[in-house]
Amino acid sequence: MVALATREIVRHVASLPKQPMHATGGGRKLAKSLRESLPETGEPFETLAKLLFSKLIPRTFNTASPGYMAYIPGGGLLHAAVANLIADSVNRYVGVWIAAPGLAQLEANVVQWLCEIVGYQGPTRPGGVLTSGGSMSNLIALVTARQTKLGDRFDDGVVYVSDQAHHSVLKAARFAGFRDDQVRVVATDARFRLSASGLREAIARDLHEGNRPFLVVASAGTTNTGAIDDLDAVADVAAGNALWFHVDGAYGGFFAMTARGKRALRGLERADSVTLDPHKSLFLPYGTGALVVRDAERLRAAHAMHATYLPPMQPDVDFADFCDLGPELSRDFRGLRVWLPLKLHGAGVFRAALDEKLDLAQAACEAIRQLPGVEIVAEPELSLFAFCLSREGMDARALDKLNRALMKDINRRQRVFVTGTMARGRFVLRVCILSFRTHADRVAMLIEDVALAVARAGA
């Protein structure tokens, strides 16, 4: 069974560059055809593998393709899949240190590497926990901030986010027990960055009204436009008002491994907590997120809870009981899928790949900027940028329709896949270059397909 699955996987990965970017037409009919009751008897693995690889996997967004520049790509590095095979096969539990001391230490090493990438240094002891993704990381950060700053009474606590914040932050606030009217959405500037002056004014108003500001969430690369908030300026405001400072770096945080990214993310190291997604800019499979914090004791204070059926937790701060650092008791051994690729290749290989993505995004943006009638709406702060067609005198609805048609035409050739979003009330196209499989040849295809679609729109 493993051998057959491996052959199918190798064949699938080898054909990725030639596969369509998207093939979900007829998806409703396909999904309905798969509905069935609980099977009483088994089927041969060969039959099930054929169903998966011949019928179901092809009818998807091709997220592992070098041409996938939509949303935020996830690379799906095969080394991590091997790590998952090992971890799932041995099925060891690492949520409690005593259950697997060595394996828990490997995961603790990974967390410390992430703290190093963010720039955390003493005097407090940094730490963190691996999660299923940015949504869970943001929730853990918000609960930790609530417990640290407000304690058990938080009906007058106030959270500050930008109008470009990921929706998981708003969802996390709701899950953490905050009403929607306890979340202040602060306007952004012309570069889609959180306004530090607007943040100060909002905090001052809440203090005057007797509310308790306690948390500000900044972005290190927004999903909409790739914007990076002025992290140093936001950190100053947070420090001046004793607020917890959280940075959502799910997309952009790992660019701190590069010299250019570190400059763009200046101030990241001042955050009390940072969300990172290795399944984005470390190219790993979906389901691999992380939260790192300046002071790991804050995580423990917010989440630790004991039961008589559990073994004793570690009193030594050098060892981590991960169940004490987040909401999960039962969880998979996530650390191996991060540890193995980094140990096999070293951080330098990942750093070089991220530098390549920065170069590719800049080159693509400059080429698309030269096309007639194209406006760059958001410059590439990292590897994501947004653009649209602009037509003088055309009303907003017609212009949106034109740009939606442009996106459809670009994607029609099935060599690249880009998506759109709303920015400042208008529809724009966005390009996110992040897959480890995306290189200059595929970016050249992007430029060709955009140029052809733009010419058709002009005609």
Q: Determine contact, residues 371/450, Cβ cutoff 8 Å.
A: yes
Q: Determine contact, residues 429/387, Cβ cutoff 8 Å.
A: yes
The rounded distance, in Å, linking the Cα atoms of 98 and 321 is 8
H/E run at residue 161: strand 157-162
Alpha-carbon distances, residue 39 vs 29, 42, 366 (angstroms):
21, 7, 55
According to CATH, the topology of domain 85-345 is: Aspartate Aminotransferase; domain 2 (3.40.640)
Domain(s) labelled CATH 3.40.640.10 in the chain stretch across 85-345
CA dihedral (5, 346, 222, 327) in degrees, to 10, reads 70
Range list of H helices, 63-186: 78-90, 101-118, 134-149, 167-175
The rounded distance, in Å, linking the Cα atoms of 251 and 165 is 12
Range 219-239 burial, b when 16+ CB lie within 10 A, else e: bbbbbbbbbbbbbebbbbbbe
Q: How many residues does the chain have?
A: 459
pLDDT score, position 314 = 84
Q: Determine contact, residues 438/357, Cβ cutoff 8 Å.
A: yes
pTM of the full structure: 0.96
Q: Determine contact, residues 454/372, Cβ cutoff 8 Å.
A: yes
- Nearest Cα to Cα of residue 215 among 135, 161, 140, 290: 161
Domain 1-36+43-70+346-459 is found in CATH 3.90.1150.170: yes
Task: Tell me the pairing of strands 244-249 and 212-219.
Answer: parallel
The rounded distance, in Å, linking the Cα atoms of 278 and 83 is 14
Q: Exposure of 116 by Cβ count < 10 A (0-12 exposed, 13-18 middle, 19+ buried)?
A: middle
The token duo for 199 is 């943040």
Show pLDDT as tens, one digit a residue, over the chain (459 residues). 989 999 999 999 999 999 999 999 999 999 999 999 999 999 999 999 999 999 999 999 999 999 999 999 988 999 999 999 999 999 999 999 999 999 999 999 999 999 999 999 878 899 999 999 999 999 999 999 999 999 999 999 999 999 999 999 999 999 999 999 999 999 999 999 999 999 999 999 999 999 999 999 999 999 999 999 999 999 999 999 999 999 999 999 999 999 999 999 999 999 999 999 999 999 999 999 999 999 999 999 999 999 999 998 988 878 989 999 999 999 999 999 999 999 999 999 999 999 999 999 999 999 999 999 999 999 999 999 999 999 999 999 999 999 999 999 999 999 999 999 999 999 999 999 999 999 999 999 999 999 999 999 986
The rounded distance, in Å, linking the Cα atoms of 73 and 434 is 6
Strand ranges of the sheet holding 157-162, from the earlier edge strand across to the other edge:
127-131, 289-293, 273-276, 244-249, 212-219, 157-162, 183-186
The rounded distance, in Å, linking the Cα atoms of 138 and 168 is 7
pLDDT score, position 67 = 97
Omega within 30 of 0 (cis) for the link into 123 = yes
The rounded distance, in Å, linking the Cα atoms of 354 and 251 is 12
The rounded distance, in Å, linking the Cα atoms of 377 and 423 is 8
Domain(s) labelled CATH 3.90.1150.170 in the chain stretch across 1-36+43-70+346-459
The rounded distance, in Å, linking the Cα atoms of 157 and 206 is 10
pLDDT score, position 123 = 84
- Nearest Cα to Cα of residue 186 among 211, 208, 213: 213
CB under 8 Å, gap of 24 or more: what pairs does 374-378 form?
Answer: 374/454, 377/225, 377/423, 377/424, 377/428, 378/191, 378/192, 378/224, 378/225, 378/226, 378/227, 378/423, 378/428, 378/430
